[in-house]
Amino acid sequence: MRRLASLVLMLSAASASAFAGEYDALIAAVKKTWPDKHNVAVVCDQGTSKGNVQVLASAASGMKITLIDVKGPQDMGKALGTLAGQKPDVVVLIAGDRIAGDGSPAATFLIQRMAGAKVPVVATTEAGVKQGAVVAVGTGTGGRLLVNPKAAMLSGVVVPEGGIAI
């Protein structure tokens, strides 16, 4: 039994380290480019994206994080209502989230609605920028800072300096 507990602890540590640093560069770009933005929102299935959310929260120290838990695409309308009430400055896409992850229809819906509300959406993958996120940087971009100037214009923000336009 003791061996099993040790194995579980090792697997938990390994899964947390797999995400380590994933959001550091993204949050650094957000803080540098938009220093007035302090309220970050995340829309995801909390149960399956818990590790990513914890790593994001660690990277975003000093910022307020609002987590909106969704269990299926049918929850996206309700999530947008909650976002409207919370008034986030930035929305972060959680790559690989089973509901609103980069590339998903729910993420596209979220990106479009947030652009209309002048709230930029950021991501960690190239797929996120291609579908309308303003900025992406992370392992999913090969460490490159990718920007979407059209999305930035729609969201009413500037793009980070040195970014590669997609």
* Banded model confidence at residue 9, pLDDT cuts 50, 70, 90: very low
Q: How many other CB atoms are found less than 10 A from the CB of residue 55?
A: 20
Query: Residue 160 pLDDT > 70, yes or no?
Result: yes
Average pLDDT, the chain: 88
DSSP codes, 73-138:
GGGHHHHHHHHHHH--SEEE--TT-TTT-TTSHHHHHHHHHHHHTT--EEEEEHHHHHTT-SEEEE
Q: How far apart are CA 60 and CA 39, in angstroms?
A: 10
Contacts of 89 (CB under 8 A, 6+ apart): 34, 36, 37, 38, 39, 40, 119
Query: CATH for 19-165, among 3.20.20.70, 3.40.50.2300, 3.30.1330.10, 1.10.3720.10?
Result: 3.40.50.2300
User: What ranges do the domains of the chain cover?
Assistant: 19-165
Query: Residue 39 pLDDT > 60, yes or no?
Result: yes
pLDDT (0 to 100) of residue 32: 96
**Which tens digit of pLDDT belongs to each residue from 75-107?**
999 999 999 999 999 999 999 999 999 999 999
pLDDT (0 to 100) of residue 4: 30
pLDDT (0 to 100) of residue 21: 79
pLDDT (0 to 100) of residue 1: 34
pLDDT (0 to 100) of residue 22: 84
Task: Supply the pTM of this predicted model.
Answer: 0.86
* Banded model confidence at residue 59, pLDDT cuts 50, 70, 90: very high
pLDDT (0 to 100) of residue 108: 96
